[in-house]
């Protein structure tokens, strides 16, 4: 019994360190992620509970890279209403994000004025898919097929929809889905 109690205690402690023990936290938000180019970690539930989230895998050398501009505009226009855009650089498609995190962060800020939260460089496909992306893929039953794939999470922490890379931030379909999410 003491061994079992110790094992339960250790599991709870490990979860607390990872920031993943909130029993009332929706599964898609129960992740602690590192900010881009930093050691600081953000627990999605603590930081973004009650917000609508647009999660995007990004790349700096892609035909869709100019979507950074539209994503930033969307973030600035709708942040007050509760939308947060979350960017995740990935080098999984065509080697289009080969740089290190500090270089990516500088590129995003200087080229597109990105202020929306950017997180650690991740894998969004293959054997090493980041656990957050694995959860998104399972919830949507759809995986990114290229850079700038978008997942929309509602205020309740549940996946609403996903959008292929060619769906621009200005798309009426995406805008309508975001507006519905914000009205929840």
Angle at 162 between CA 117 and CA 70, to 5 degrees: 45
Tell me the three state secondary structure of residue 49. coil
Catalytic sites, residue numbers: 62
In 3D space, the residue among 39, 55, 37, 144 whose CA is nearest the CA of residue 99 turns out to be 37
Separation CA 54–CA 96 (nearest Å): 21
153 CB-contact burial (10 Å; exposed 0-12 / middle 13-18 / buried 19+):
buried
Q: Are 28 and 158 in contact (CB under 8 A)?
A: yes
Compute the C-alpha angle 30/22/5, nearest 5°.
115
Q: Are 56 and 163 in contact (CB under 8 A)?
A: no
Query: Measuring CA to CA, which residue among 112, 91, 111 is closest to residue 101?
Result: 91
């Amino acid at each position: 019994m003491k061994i079992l109690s110790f094992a339960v205690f250790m599991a709870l402690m490990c979860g607390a360190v990872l920031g993943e023990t909130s029993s009332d936290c929706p599964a898609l938000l129960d992740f602690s992620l590192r900010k881009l180019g930093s050691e600081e970690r953000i627990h999605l539930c603590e930081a973004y509970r009650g917000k609508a989230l647009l999660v995007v895998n990004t790349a700096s050398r892609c035909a869709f890279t100019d979507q950074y501009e539209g994503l930033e505009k969307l973030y600035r226009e709708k942040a007050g209403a509760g939308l947060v855009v979350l960017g995740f650089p990935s080098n999984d498609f065509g080697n289009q994000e080969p740089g290190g995190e500090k270089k990516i962060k500088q590129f995003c800020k200087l080229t597109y004025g990105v202020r929306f939260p950017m997180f650690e460089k991740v894998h969004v496909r293959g054997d090493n898919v980041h656990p957050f992306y694995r959860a998104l893929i399972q919830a949507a039953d759809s995986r990114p097929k290229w850079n700038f794939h978008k997942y929309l999470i509602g205020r309740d922490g549940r996946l609403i929809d996903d959008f292929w890379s060619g769906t621009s931030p200005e798309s009426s379909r995406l805008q309508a889905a975001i507006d519905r999410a914000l009205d929840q």
